[in-house]
Homo-oligomer: A and B are copies of this chain.
Amino acid sequence: MQRDQTRPVRVGNVTIGGGAPIVVQSMTNTDTRNIEATLRQIRALAEAGCEIVRVAVVNRDAAAALPEIVRHSPIPVVADIHFDHRLALAALEAGVHKLRLNPGNIGAEHKVREVVKAAKDRQVPIRIGVNSGSIAKHLLERLGRTPQAMVESALEHIAILEKLGFEDIVVSLKATDIQMTVAAYEMLSEKVDYPLHLGITEAGTTWFGTIKSACGLGALLSRGIGDTLRVSLTADPVEEVRVAWAILSAMDLRRRGPLFISCPTCGRTEIDLERITAEVEERLKDYPLPITIAIMGCVVNGPGEASHAEIGIAGGKGVGLVFRSGKIVRRVAESELVDAIVQEAQLYLEERN
């Protein structure tokens, strides 16, 4: 698959677009005024692999918290601004690395001009975020709630920035409807070369939201569309980051954390593969390195079949084998298989660091 060519946009020390690896983002759900809680969550997100974090800036107090948050955040910070250009100016003053702001929504031209000048002076990009639920009235009347209306809306916001000589732009087009989202991104990606931020708006459950995000992002990524993504879930945002990485791993676009292979169960299977893989996955869910872990159901074909895995176990009745790169390195009691694989993974991590 050929990735869509876009121009690069720098967000702090991270590049979005221009062929850079697809960037994983998330958003805090703390009260931004609570600096300590917000920074704690940002650190947890960064540890889980989040590369850019967005914080809501809903009022002056939230803006006042930004300098401290930006100073201590291990990853670039995006200020999410709606309507109030003074909050955008305060966020820029605070040193944020990107604004999420729709220039058509902040009113009088001089306000837009002021924000855009400040962003340009500081080389801070702006992400335009079109949402199917908040398309401007004149577009809705002319085009209805369609992909065309979403694209037109994005193009209007883009035109405002371009007219002011500002092209440090990222665009997103979020809808709850996947088909609409895909159609909108496809259309826009043919019209502009700004990097695209992907997301499926979903305020449902974690399980269903995960599946829906994977469907929608899989559909887009498989078309070569997307330079950065955020999975939206009604859940701890750390879970959003885990799902985002799993999607990128599944699409073979980026890797982080363990990838499991396990034999399909057969007559020789002597251990409870489902339980063991689930347990190992849970215990290694924050494991940062890409690693392939084989969990095999018998000691006959296990090591051989799993020779392309970095580490693995093959379970048998009473005894299990532990192997590295297909070679058996030790035997453990069957009851210790899960512990053994976690130990091997830690060892692998220590060796690499």
What residues of chain A have their CB less than 8 Å away from a CB belonging to chain B?
1, 29, 31, 177-179, 182-183, 203-208, 210-212, 214-219, 221-223, 234-236, 243, 246-247, 249-252, 259-265, 267, 273-274, 277-278, 281
Cross-chain contact A215 with B247 (CB below 8 angstroms) = yes
Number of this chain's copies in the complex: 2
Residue among A177, A219, A277, A281 with the highest chain B CB neighbour number at 10 A: A219
Q: Given B218, B262, B281, which contacts A218 in the complex, CB threshold below 8 Å?
A: B218
Q: How far is the CA of A53 from the CA of B53 in the complex (A)?
A: 45
Cross-chain contact A260 with B219 (CB below 8 angstroms) = no
Q: How far is the CA of A262 from the CA of B182 in the complex (A)?
A: 23
Cross-chain contact B274 with A203 (CB below 8 angstroms) = no
Given the complex, which residues of B lie within 8 Å of A222, measured CB to CB? 178-179, 182, 215, 219
Q: Given B182, B203, B206, B246, which contacts A278 in the complex, CB threshold below 8 Å?
A: B206
Cross-chain contact A277 with B215 (CB below 8 angstroms) = no
Cross-chain contact B204 with A261 (CB below 8 angstroms) = yes
Q: Given B205, B252, B263, B274, which contacts A260 in the complex, CB threshold below 8 Å?
A: B205
Given the complex, which residues of B lie within 8 Å of A216, measured CB to CB? 218, 250
27 contacts between A and B (CB under 8 A): A1-B179, A1-B183, A31-B267, A178-B250, A179-B252, A203-B261, A203-B262, A203-B263, A203-B264, A205-B262, A205-B278, A206-B278, A207-B278, A208-B259, A210-B214, A211-B214, A211-B247, A212-B250, A215-B217, A215-B251, A216-B250, A234-B262, A234-B264, A234-B274, A234-B277, A235-B274, A236-B274
